[in-house]
Amino acid sequence: MSTLFRIARRIGLPAVFLIGFFVFVGATAPWIVPHDPTSQDLMASNESFSLEHPLGTDHLGRDTMSRLIMGARTTLVAVATVILFAMCVGGLIGTLSGYVGGLVDEALMRFVDFGLSVPSMIVALAVIGVFGPGYWNMILALTIAWVPSYARLSRATVAATVHQPHIESLWVLGASHPRIIFRHLAPTALSAILVYASADAGVLALTIATLSFLGLGVQPPMAEWGQMLVDALPYLEESPRQVILPGLALTIMVIGFNLLGEGLALYRAPRAIGAKALERRRQLLLREGEI
């Protein structure tokens, strides 16, 4: 436990607590929601804060707190699914490209460069235009749009590692190509991808909310923060909390992901050894008789 706390403190306690809170809420959402998030009660529409509805209700009488909690689950599931598949597909493409090189590398990277040259939102809109709006169609569209960036990142990492002495020694020892790729190169690429993905999750959460706001992502009555925003806009003057609350939740989540990505990047960076650490190391070597 103390080791985990030290790691969390080095990454950044605010980021860890924020993202941990959202993950906990999203994972336990079906059991902690006070009301059915899709249940309508027109007699209780646009109610303010109360004991029965701590954050009030929307224009259809649905409990705002319940919809915020389920919206966290909807966003986190979509973010995790897109990043997981984009990492797997893009990481495999980039790893093979950086390891094989030659014409294979050129051909794969030209496709990747084409994907990177088109804004990811345009790619997502094009895919949704073909398959139609919907939650899983949105996830498919975003996965396709997100693959090129992970492919380029993993390719750069593998290309810088493949000619290192420890990899060349594996070739000399007769290690198989799958062993070199999956046991030695892929984990190296994965460590770099995870840092990028932690910060990229915030951008992805915003994109999901944007697509839902445009009516191309999550469809009613499913709870999602972008969908809650567009539903509440006609009632902005009458009940501004319906816009403020999902917007605030989305903002805090994005800030949390950005802080987490920055913390992970700093965690991987080498740190200068302080005077106390140097002294402890010198005393240890003295006891072992090495100096």
Q: What are the two backbone dihedrals, phi and then psi, of residue 46, each rounded to the nearest 5 degrees?
A: 55, 35
pLDDT per residue of the chain (291 residues) written in tens, 0 to 9: 556 556 566 666 777 888 889 999 999 999 999 999 988 888 888 888 888 889 999 988 999 999 999 999 999 999 999 999 999 899 889 888 888 888 888 888 888 888 888 888 888 888 988 888 889 999 999 999 999 999 998 888 888 888 777 777 777 777 777 787 778 787 778 877 888 888 789 899 999 999 988 888 888 888 899 989 988 888 888 889 999 999 999 999 999 888 887 777 666 655 555 566 656 766 776 666 554
SS3 56: coil
Domain count of the fold of the chain: 1
> How far apart are the C-alpha atoms of 192 and 142, rounded to whole Å?
21
CB proximity list for 68: less than 8 A, separation 6 or greater? 55, 223, 225, 228, 245, 246, 249
Query: Contact at 8 Å (CB) between 45 and 25?
Result: no
How large is the C-alpha radius of gyration of the chain? 24
- N- to C-terminal Cα separation, the chain: 34
Query: Contact at 8 Å (CB) between 167 and 184?
Result: yes
CATH number, domain with residue 113: 1.10.3720.10
Q: How many CA atoms lie within 13 A of 44 on its CB side?
A: 15
Domain residues for 251? 2-288
Q: What is the pLDDT of residues 190-229, one digit of tens each?
A: 877 888 888 789 899 999 999 988 888 888 888 899 989 9
Q: Which amino acid is at 60?
A: L
Alpha helices in 55-101 (DSSP H): 64-100
Q: What percent of the chain has pLDDT over 90?
A: 27
- Give the dihedral of Cα atoms 241, 208, 74, 219; nearest 10 deg: 80
Query: Contact at 8 Å (CB) between 199 and 261?
Result: yes
